[in-house]
Amino acid sequence: MSVEFVNPEFEVIRNDNRCIACRVCERQCANEVHLFDPDRGIILSDESKCVNCQRCVSLCPTRALKIVKNECRLRENANWSDSTIKEIYKQANSGGVLLSSMGNPNPLPVYWDKILINASQVTNPSIDPLREPMETKVFLGKKPDKITRNEDGSLNCELLTQLELSMPVMFSAMSYGSISYNAHASLARASKELGIFYNTGEGGLHEDFYCYGENTIVQVASGRFGVYEDYLEAGAAVEIKMGQGAKPGIGGHLPGAKIVGDVSRTRMIPEGSDAISPAPHHDIYSIEDLRQLVFSLKEATEYKKPIIVKVAAVHNIAAIASGIARSGADIIAIDGFRGGTGAAPTRIRDNVGIPIELALASVDQRLRDEGIRNNVSLVVGGSIRSASDVVKAIALGADACYIATAAVLALGCHLCRTCQTGKCNWGIATQRPELVKRLNPDMGAERLVNLMTAWQHEIKELMGGMGINSIESLRGNRLMLRGIGLTEKELEILGISHAGE
């Protein structure tokens, strides 16, 4: 111990007057924080293992538990924060790269919170969504530049396949392996019921879920895990994952310990072998290579499925997106730097990439400047937290949003940010059967449907307030937005005026 000891982050407060030593907390904690002492008849805590996932707090029948920040702190220092110092201790202990999960938690600007939405007053009427139709249906995919006509003069109405969404939100990529079978089952069922899509992530598609193919986006990432003809055929669209907001520029690493049973079969790699996704696709070193993969996948799926190219929001995103738009891709998905992950090197997660709001605004404007905005659809993710974030994203120029953190929160995630340990007490980011079964997919699907239904109501309310009764009239409608407390430069990039202007 001594020099290697790192002061635990949390303190477990147990109210002895309430605790009945029922040992629920002990059974529920995969991190083994709670331990029954048979001699004394009481429960003890090992705080060093606590991740503050709130599982014990939520299940304690007498509400005897509270997890609080450990007040035993190092001497305050504005330059050397507590967490910075502890990270140094950990690295001095281990010699390793620090790992983190979920999105960047640091206090960097959240532009959504500095953007305000308009409403109608006097000069045009607001519309009540309870009394008038309010449309949220969206079609994603490439639109033609010109119409063509049949010999009889009627319009030729053949379109390249579009994804039809009942509302402009989809569940973003989370692989089977990084999350559990039951989590995937919940997402698949909810998507079907909602008329939207979920995304397999890079871990392949479990054979049980092929039946949800119409609501599934299958991903092809640099590791190509689980990719074969039937997989591509199974989905409604194919997504090429070039990057992820939480870890732009690097690949992924699912430890061999998680490659067990169905995960191994679905990924098509031997049990116990590490699943390593290379940083780049080794057949894509340039934009022209991307074009080849886009068209390879189109050939493989007989041009029946839209191809999505997903990239992380990085500095030069506008030019990159313009290149992708010209690569034959039907949809561009951009993932902002606050996007979540099942595991990423902390330094990468917290320091690489740019906010999705700025990336979206500049990409949308760039594609318009080049006159090619209608050739692709834009989907954005990387911390879309609420219906108002969705409305702001659409008004900035997105066709739809990807959500993942919000979706796992609906499934029970308490954002403890330790997915990488595989000991998720909520049955989401784990493969341990006794933990996985804690997530009931019927309830999970229902909660996801509830969340999306609630957001849809809120989106309609906000639209109605603006006098807009169809989501397409909101897309790119930046006049409906105003900035608050933003600099001239920020406003210029967002393409919006300041409040009061």
Partner 1 sequence: MKLEGQVRIPSGCAIAAVISKEGSRMSGEMITNAMKPMHDRSNGLGGGFAGYGIYPEYKDFYAMHFFFNDRAARKDCEVFLKERFEIVQSERIKTRKIPAITDEPVIWRYFLSPLKSVLTSMQMDEKEFVANTIVKINTEFKGSYVFSSGKNMGAFKAVGFPEDVGEFYRLEEYEGYSWTAHGRYPTNTPGWWGGAHPFTILDYSIVHNGEISSYDANRRFIEMFGYKCNLQTDTEVIAYIMDYLLRVQKLTLEEAAEVIAAPFWSTIADKSESERKKLTYLRTVYSSLLITGPFSIVFGFNGGLMALNDRLKLRSMVVGEKNDKVFIASEEAAIRVMEPDVSKIYAPAGGEPVIVRLKEGTF
Q: If DSSP codes are grouped into helix, strand and coil, which group holds residue 446?
A: helix
Assess contact for 300 and 229: CB atoms under 8 A.
yes
Q: Please give the Cα distance from 34 to 30 (Å, whole number).
A: 9
**H/E segment holding residue 392:** helix 387-396
Residues in the chain: 501
For residue 307, list its beta bridge partners. Answer: 238
Q: For residues 383-412, which are near partner 1 according to CB under 8 A?
A: 397
SS (H, E, C) 159-189: CCCCEEECCCEEECCCCECCECHHHHHHHHH
Which window, 101-109, 140-148, 219-227, 298-306, contacts partner 1 (CB under 8 A)?
140-148
- Among 313, 466, 486, 494, which residue interacts with partner 1 (rule: CB under 8 A)? 466
User: Considering beta carbons, is residue 121 or 450 the nearer one to partner 1?
Assistant: 121
144 lies in the site for partner 1, by CB under 8 A: yes
The structure tokens listed for 48 are 């060093």
- Among 2, 17, 79, 124, which residue interacts with partner 1 (rule: CB under 8 A)? 124
Tokens 């404007």 correspond to 365
Which window, 143-151, 254-262, 269-277, 408-416, contacts partner 1 (CB under 8 A)?
143-151
User: Considering beta carbons, is residue 65 or 138 the nearer one to partner 1?
Assistant: 138
Assess contact for 497 and 483: CB atoms under 8 A.
yes
Q: Please give the Cα distance from 201 to 244 (Å, whole number).
A: 11
Question: In sequence order, which residues have a C-beta less than 8 Å from that of residue 96 and are 6 or more positions away?
Answer: none
159 lies in the site for partner 1, by CB under 8 A: yes
- Among 162, 296, 346, 386, which residue interacts with partner 1 (rule: CB under 8 A)? 162
- Among 61, 105, 109, 125, which residue interacts with partner 1 (rule: CB under 8 A)? 125
The structure tokens listed for 437 are 């079964």
Binders of partner 1: how many residues, by CB under 8 A?
A: 39
461 lies in the site for partner 1, by CB under 8 A: no
Q: If DSSP codes are grouped into helix, strand and coil, which group holds residue 12?
A: strand
Which window, 51-59, 383-391, 410-418, 472-480, contacts partner 1 (CB under 8 A)?
472-480
At residue 12, what are phi and psi to the nearest 5 degrees?
A: -95, 115
Which window, 92-100, 133-141, 325-333, 454-462, contacts partner 1 (CB under 8 A)?
133-141
132 lies in the site for partner 1, by CB under 8 A: yes
Q: For residues 349-388, which are near partner 1 according to CB under 8 A?
A: 368, 371-374
Query: Which residues would be at the binding site for partner 1 (CB under 8 A)?
Result: 120, 123-125, 127, 132-133, 135, 137, 139, 143-144, 146-147, 154-155, 157, 159, 162, 368, 371-374, 397, 466-470, 472-480
